[in-house]
Structure 1
Amino acid sequence: MATREKRLAQFDGNGEPSPEQRVEVLCEDHSGTYQLPFACRFIDGQWRNDTTGGALEVNVIAWRMPRVKQAGMA
């Protein structure tokens, strides 16, 4: 399992992303750190699910631009 420091090192967003940016977020709770499985936006000081627009009820500790998923080699 990845350590908190290793996960944080993978999330390189600085400051707050603009509301137009879809980003991946790293969250933390009493069990540890985890990445949400959906894109988010930071709008009016609040993190929101990009698809539903619902406010996140989690502790976001870092963000990054979405990683491009590459197809497997044949």
Structure 2
Amino acid sequence: MVKIRLMGAFAHLAKARELEIKLESPKTVDEILRELIPRYDEFHDKIIFINGKPAKGDAVVEEGDEIKVMPVLSGG
């Protein structure tokens, strides 16, 4: 199982703060999140961690990994 923790707008859009999915084969973070979060690609800036380490959307995820993702907000 892969544990996914969603923050901010991602949690709102996916209607969940935490999800667990089973991977049949390795996938990238972006592939997984596109399936789970409506409008995921509209967020150009995001912070992604895999197993507590910074990652990019093209990082490959395998069974047992934990993903944490949050949108980057700007303003002032």
The structure whose Rg is larger is 1
Please classify the TM superposition score into its range, dividing by the shorter chain length: under 0.3
Q: Which has the higher helix share?
A: 2
Q: TM-score, normalised by structure 2?
A: 0.26
Determine which structure has greater relative contact order: mean sequence separation of CA pairs < 8 Å that are 6+ residues apart, divided by chain length: 2
TM-score computed with the length of structure 1 as normaliser: 0.26
